[in-house]
Structure 1
Amino acid sequence: MRIISGKYKGRRINPPKNLPVRPTTDMSKESLFNILNNYFNFSELRVLDLFAGTGNISYEFASRGSGPITSVDGDYGCVTFIKKTAKEFDFDITAIKSDVFKFLEKSKATFDIIFADPPYGMEQKDFERIVSLVFENELLEEDGMMIIEHSKHTPISHMANFSFLKNYGGSVFSFFELENDTEEDVTDEEDEFDS
């Protein structure tokens, strides 16, 4: 796993092999940040990384100058690794061991970007619940964006505040925004590589 851009571009991060994770591939990650680059100046963005796993996405934001970043995962090993890596790189990341749904129910903070990468095998209703909790609890800033990474077999484009999606092989990034005044016709766009 490597950081693809920013201050620590090219730096490799080697998480323990026993963590229960499926990290976002470098190709998908690069494409995601190319999209976000059109919407945001990464400096000082407040980011929430749900189902953070190895911290892969959190480090990418931190390397670009974002922070504070909150990384939430239910696995003790993942949270321990994120804390260790954040200290090593002096990243503005707070790692929290928590059930993601409980965190979303209780959080009073707001964020510019919320990224969620749940297990692909999670039930459809739980993917939908992530979207519902974020918007019901007003966790996203007015000009913010939520991105959910999921399988192409788990459609969530019917949910309120859906904006657009991008396909990368078997993986999909669905983007949600508070205001969706402009329709972007990219829902069927398929990039030429598989993740």
Structure 2
Amino acid sequence: MSGKYKGYSFKPFKAPHTRPTTDIAKEAIFNSIVSRYDIEDITVLDLFAGTGSMSLEFLSRGALKVTSADYHEKNLKYLLDIKKELSVENWKVEKSEVLEFLKYNKESFDLIFADPPYDWNGFHALSKLIPESDTLKEGGCFILEHPKTFNFTGAHVLMSKQYGISCFTFFAKQGVTEN
């Protein structure tokens, strides 16, 4: 982890439905993000937050506000314990199934990160829903972590990067493509 919480050691946490993003992939993702945004100026939504490693990385690097959404009680308790331990005030933790959260959410975010379980059947629906929704601000970016067996194309796709068995596809609110 970089930034404010550099050196913070996560308490051991194991749950069958979590798969934290690797440090190598996380660093590469953040390199791509900082080439587009000043992290201190963005609001972030972390869907399928799991252990909160991406949420904490955004907070540690100075994001204005981070909202983490997850459905599993064990994950939520873990996230709330970390929030309390670190006394983080600009971090909101929500219990919600992702599609329900997106349906009822009234906030807009500059960046949305989603890391669903690899056996989840909603990858394609999510890849279309978020870039076209008001949840993602104009000029915003949606990053979807998914198995490398998925291939996303279309006007909203900026780029895809692969790290091991994982792939990260970046989607734009507008149909801007990467040169």
Identify the TM-score tier after normalising by the shorter chain: over 0.9
| Residue of structure 1 aligned with 2:62, choices 40, 45, 65 | 65
Question: Is 2:137 the counterpart of 1:141?
Answer: yes
What do you get for the CA RMSD once the two structures are aligned?
A: 1.5
Kept in 2, the 8 Å contact 1:151–1:170? The answer is yes
Question: Is 2:78 the counterpart of 1:85?
Answer: no
| Residue of structure 2 aligned with 1:8, choices 5, 16, 20 | 5
TM-score, normalisation: structure 2: 0.92
Determine what percentage of the aligned residue pairs are the same residue: 40
| Residue of structure 2 aligned with 1:151, choices 142, 147, 159 | 147
TM-score, normalisation: structure 1: 0.85
Query: What are the ranges of 5 or more consecutive residues in structure 1 without an aligned counterpart?
Result: 185-195
Kept in 1, the 8 Å contact 2:155–2:175? The answer is no
User: In structure 1, what is the equivalent of residue 23 of structure 2?
Assistant: 26
Kept in 1, the 8 Å contact 2:115–2:144? The answer is yes
Question: Is 2:172 the counterpart of 1:177?
Answer: yes
Deviation at 1:86, TM superposition (A): 1.3
Query: What are the ranges of 5 or more consecutive residues in structure 2 without an aligned counterpart?
Result: none
User: In structure 1, what is the equivalent of residue 34 of structure 2?
Assistant: 37
Aligned length: 178
Paired residue secondary structure (2:131): helix
For residues 6-62 of structure 1, give each alpha carbon's deviation from its aligned partner in whole angstroms, at most 9, with x where no partner exists: 111122111432463110011111111111111111114210000000101000000
User: In structure 1, what is the equivalent of residue 45 of structure 2?
Assistant: 48
Kept in 2, the 8 Å contact 1:165–1:173? The answer is yes
Deviation at 1:183, TM superposition (A): 3.6
Amino acid of the structure 2 residue aligned with 1:40: Y
Paired residue secondary structure (2:85): helix
